Amino acid sequence: MSPAIGMHDRPPPAAGRAGRPALHVAIIMDGNGRWAKQRGLPRAFGHRAGVAALRRTVEGAPGLGIERLTVFGFSTENWRRPQPEISELMGLLRAYFESDLARLERDGVRVRIVGRRTGLDADILDIVERAEARTRKNDRFHLRVAFNYGGRADIVDAARKFALAVERGVARAKDLDEAMFEAGLSTAPGSAPDLIIRTSGEQRVSNFLLWECAYAELIFQDVYWPDYGPEHLKAAIADFRSRERRFGGVAADDVLAAG
């Protein structure tokens, strides 16, 4: 018997507005510090300019056939940064949700934070939870901000959830399959992105969406995040559209040839 296939391993079935499947795009927003350094500015300025880039990108995404956007805002490893920089990043998350919530709500955007909630200050958690509650019924566009997120930590948390369910007698180890495990990730449902973009020229994953990246197309763009905008996203989508995804199978043309 073949093992159960995770939901993310199947080609996306839903038809998008333009007759194409609606896309889930994930972005590692990198390069804020170098952008600032290039200008002789403190790193904080790069992070602030990064918020403006996020705003532009969120506004441009629905017009490009994107229905879900998951952005990496703060990793479990970013706690290693100097305290003032951590405070700046926390403050920006708070400010973003405060200043943009009304517009996001009006534009039909559903917002969610993914990652570990323990470790975040109570006031930030409060703002985040209020934003999630106020936009819960929106369905036009999904914005997920990975904050205090680490791919490994998320997998461990999902494993712990399952182990606790077994301990409580509400799950059995032999029933565990990929779909069930995936449901325990903080990114569920709809965990797997179609493509993952990293800006700044770095070509690494840095603990982002480790489970979910199984069949994602990876796109590296040589632009610092504060300079990013819809035109860069458009170029990434065009690159994505030119690729053939096979999910372990064979290309459509080769199905006939093989027969």
Which residues contribute to the site for Mg ion (CB under 5 A)?
Answer: 30
In 61-82, which residue ranges form alpha helices assigned H by DSSP? none
- Contact call for residue 29 and ligand IPE (CB under 6 A): yes
HEC secondary structure over 106-156: HCCEEEEEECCCCCCCHHHHHHHHHHHHHCCCCCCEEEEEEEEECHHHHHH
- Contact call for residue 88 and ligand IPE (CB under 6 A): no
Position 58, amino acid: V
| Least spacing, CB of residue 197 vs ligand IPE, in Å | 11
What CA–CA distance (Å, rounded) separates 226 from 149? 21
Residue appearing with tokens 């194409």: 20
- Contact call for residue 78 and ligand IPE (CB under 6 A): yes
| Least spacing, CB of residue 16 vs Mg ion, in Å | 32
Q: Name the catalytic one among 30, 100, 154, 194.
A: 30
What CA–CA distance (Å, rounded) separates 152 from 205? 12
Q: Could you confirm whether 175 is annotated as catalytic?
A: no
* CA atoms within 13 Å, Cβ hemisphere of 191: 29
The residue among 162 and 221 lying less far from ligand IPE, judged by its C-beta, is 221
What CA–CA distance (Å, rounded) separates 232 from 251? 28
What CA–CA distance (Å, rounded) separates 252 from 224? 37
The residue among 29 and 124 lying less far from ligand IPE, judged by its C-beta, is 29
Nearest to 133 by CA among 141, 125, 187: 125
| 187 contact, one of ligand IPE, Mg ion, none, CB 5-8 Å limit per kind | none
The residue among 30 and 100 lying less far from Mg ion, judged by its C-beta, is 30
Looking at residues 55 to 74 of the shown chain, list those that interact with ligand IPE (rule: CB under 6 A). 72-74
What single-letter DSSP state applies at residue 140?
S
Stretch of 14-22, 25-33, 115-123, 177-185 contacting ligand IPE, by CB under 6 A: 25-33
The residue among 85 and 132 lying less far from ligand IPE, judged by its C-beta, is 85
- Catalytic residue numbers read 30, 78
Q: Contact residues for ligand IPE (CB under 6 A)?
A: 28-34, 72-75, 78, 89, 200, 202, 204, 206, 225
